[in-house]
Amino acid sequence: MARKKKVHEHENHERWLVSYADFITLLFAFFVVMFASSQTDKGKQKQMSESIKSAMEESRFTATMQGILGGVADDTGKGNAMMKGPGGTKPDTTPTPPPEIVELIPAMQRLKQELRAEIDAGSMEVHMTGRGVVVTMQQAAFFPSGDDMVALSSYQSVGKVAQIVNKLPNPIRLEGHTDSRPIRTSRFHSNWELSAARAISMMDLLTHEFELPESRMAIGGYADTVAIAPNETEEGRSRNRRVDIVILSAQGVLDQPSAERSTK
């Protein structure tokens, strides 16, 4: 019986194209997913950024940081907690704020809220120092040039400060400052007299108009010796002409002011 001759099938050399096409399709799908994810992340990042900004503006950021870090956040948003993670972590080297400073943080936040319009207009500043909370009132908005009479138009702003200060037990220090240009008038023979007179006028307003006890007050006149900006420019001189209401911490009662300013 004759043996059948085996027929050899033609080998397909193009089968790799199927696998290649599948690979390209999967690679394309992968990049599409990555691109879509990146767009979503950008949206989330923008949303997160806006939320954090809103929280900081509405003074909720401190409480948030306390919950996340397990410590107290100061005015710059830095906490004193240690970050915990697998295998131990490096402690945060940010100094722990003294308890008396921590206690004044809510008052500072409230002042910033109440004085938002004045702060935005540049007529007032609120910040924390080692001595306590400092509310700076620029001369241009509160006193006529070369005079110690508090402008009537500023009474409402001063009243906002008085309302919050009146609820605190802390001593208050009123400090007058001038620029470096000397003054010599029939009433004020020097910048020392002008700076002290403005601090006294602010004390009179707080005690008589807004009923803050005189026993809580102290007066300081510093002329141009505690500058917070260069006196070589008009902008700097205008910042130096000011009266500061200082809500003193326990340590602040002992300290004298210096030319150093904390970060706002």
pLDDT, average across residues 210-226:
95
What's the number of domains the chain is made of? 1
Residue 159 lies in a domain: yes
- CATH number for the domain that contains residue 219: 3.30.1330.60
Instruction: Give the side-chain half-sphere CA count within 13 A for 100.
Output: 15
Q: What is the pTM of this model?
A: 0.62
Q: 174: which residues sit within 8 A by CB, 6+ positions away?
A: 199, 200, 202, 203, 206, 217, 218, 219, 220, 243, 244, 245, 246
In DSSP terms, which residues pair with 60 in a beta bridge? Answer: none
Q: Quick one: which of 234, 142, 244, 104 has its CA closest to 179? A: 234
> Given a cut of 50, is residue 85 above it in pLDDT?
no
Q: What is the pLDDT of residue 26?
A: 75
pLDDT, average across residues 78-97:
51
* Residues spanned by the domain of 213: 99-248
Residue 254 lies in a domain: no
**What's the whole-number average pLDDT of the chain?**
78
Q: Taking the CB of residue 118, how many other CB atoms lie within 10 A of it?
A: 21
Residue 79 lies in a domain: no
Q: Quick one: which of 116, 176, 166 has its CA closest to 142? A: 176
Q: What is the pLDDT of residue 142?
A: 96
pLDDT, average across residues 223-237:
95
Look up residue 39 and give its two tokens: 């767009």
Q: What is the pLDDT of residue 91?
A: 55
Residue 172 lies in a domain: yes
Residue 199 lies in a domain: yes
Which is more confident, 1 or 222? 222
Integer CA distances (angstroms), 169 to 66, 103, 140, 152, 217, in order? 25, 11, 30, 27, 12
Confidence bin at 250 (pLDDT 50/70/90): confident
Burial degree of 3 (CB within 10 A; 0-12, 13-18, 19+): exposed
- pLDDT, tens digit, for every residue of 3-45? 555 555 555 556 666 666 767 777 777 776 676 666 555 555 5
- pLDDT, tens digit, for every residue of 43-79? 555 555 554 455 444 444 444 444 434 444 444 444 4
